[in-house]
Amino acid sequence: MLSKNLEKALNKQIRIEAESSQIYLAMASWAEVQGLSGVAGFMYGHSDEERMHMLKLVKYVNERGGHAIITDLKEPAKDFGTLPEVFQKLLDHEIFVSQSINELVQVTLDEKDYATHNFLQWYVAEQIEEEALARTALDKINLIGNDKGGLYLFDRDIEKLTVESAATDGSAM
């Protein structure tokens, strides 16, 4: 059974994940209108992924005797400026989500809810990957600068961009 305090904290994270999905959906739409179909596909995929993160939390809260609350969401931006600005906003947002997950993990430790602590470890590892992916994409965009050929190749290849996080890599150092 979840404590009321932890249920409230998990519901806050549900909202953050839902808003993340909306932000990436808005970024996808912006990119599509800019003719960046690869970036749009990347962002559509991230939007879906964030929605799945939200659903996983919803089910967990309800399974543990709480009540997952679905709230209204803040409207995301419609214009994102330049491609480097888009990916900087993506990175900044992922850092914000990581901080929120870390605060949630602290609540589980304070409340000695080790089942929820264990459940959240997936989110901790996921955020390491999300931040690394956003940093990698931003680094590539910054390397390209104003090179239109480089931008074309980036847009073509972005949907295949992956990173292997040290947190989830099974190999020993």
Rg (CA), the chain: 17
Does 172 map to a domain?
no
Contacts of residue 115, defined as CB under 8 A and 6 or more positions apart, other chains included, come to 64
Could you tell me which residues are annotated as the binding site? 17, 50, 53, 94, 127
Q: Which of 15, 42, 31 is nearest to 130 (CA)?
A: 42
Report pTM: 0.91
Does 50 map to a domain?
yes
**Exposure string (b/e) for 106-117, b if CB count within 10 Å is 16 or more?**
ebbeeeebeebb
Could you tell me which residues are annotated as the binding site for Fe cation? 17, 50, 53, 94, 127
CATH code assigned at 9: 1.20.1260.10
* Total count of domains within the chain: 1
Q: Domain range spanning residue 123?
A: 4-160
Does 168 map to a domain?
no
Taking only the tens place, the pLDDT of each residue in 10-46 is 999 999 999 999 999 999 999 999 999 999 999 999 9
- Band of the pLDDT at 159, cuts 50, 70, 90? confident
Does 169 map to a domain?
no
